[in-house]
Amino acid sequence: MNRTALITGGSRGLGRTVAEFLAAQKYNLIITARNEDELETSARALRRHGGQVIALAGDVSDPGHRRRLAAAARDLGRLDILFNNASTLGATPLPPLAEYPLEALEEAFRINVLAPIALVREVLPLLEGGLVVNVSSDAARGGYPGWGGYGMTKAALDLASLTLANELSGLSRGLGVGVVAVDPGDLRTRMHQDAFPGEDISDRPLPDVTLPFWAWLFGQPPAAVTGRRYQAQSDCWEVNVPALEEVAV
């Protein structure tokens, strides 16, 4: 049976790049994004690799949509990779944290933190021996002016990733699910352009610059990488984080 990956934010940018890579490795794919036309265009291109591609347009913060994604994974019989890539910048232009509209901050947490955790819960029975990848950002650690809202959500997602890694790798659960957080670095994507309206971001690399990292990561046993945080464009991919056995309780 072919391996299966579920990719959120899979119609363009980093999500589309990872989807293309996995499709070429003969994975079956479930891809989702909010724009149905862009999603279908991506699905048609991905199907040229010969695998099944299920495209389900919707918002990952919608519980009903998450249930549909989980049902599609069940129909394919397994799930080897959950790639939580869908994100929102939050309020734009990026405001100072002290002036951040609270409704926009709540929405950013729903999409960037709660939705990935909820999706893990939905598909967990299918993920035995699989890998969860939560896409993070250097904004989670940088404290950059204007990036506080987005950075807070990614910092929370980093902690959620480590916590899930500790909880899901235990033999008592019998699941052996790996969980990692990955900062892909600055990329030339629409989302990055939205963060810098009117500016030239042509000096940023395209998402395919991260392909050597993904090729390495997806070739590792989940148990060997779980609990780690990675930087996909760094000379040293692994960020120093506590090993599972070193985390204080």
Q: Which domains does the chain have, with CATH numbers?
A: 4-240 (3.40.50.720)
pLDDT for 225: 96
- pTM across the whole model: 0.91
pLDDT digits (tens, 9 = 90+) for 235-247: 788 876 554 444 4
Evaluate whether 73 touches 28 at the Cβ level (below 8 Å).
no
Q: Please check the confidence at residue 24 and state whether its pLDDT lies above 60.
A: yes
Which DSSP symbol is given to 19? Answer: H
Q: Is the pLDDT of residue 205 over 90?
A: no
pLDDT the model gives residue 203: 77
230 in active site: no
Catalytic residue among 27, 100, 144, 150: 150
- pLDDT at position 196: 64
- With contact defined as beta carbons under 8 Å apart, do 149 and 134 qualify? no
Instruction: Over range 43-51, report the average pLDDT.
Output: 96
Distance between CA atoms of 165 and 131, rounded to whole angstroms? Answer: 10
Kindly state the percentage of the chain with pLDDT values over 90. 78
Mean pLDDT of 85-112: 96
Give the tens place of pLDDT for each residue, 220-237.
Answer: 999 999 999 999 988 788
DSSP per residue over 166-225, as a string?
Answer: HHHS-TTTT---EEEEEE--S--SHHHHHHSTT---TTSPPGGGGHHHHHHHTTS-HHHH
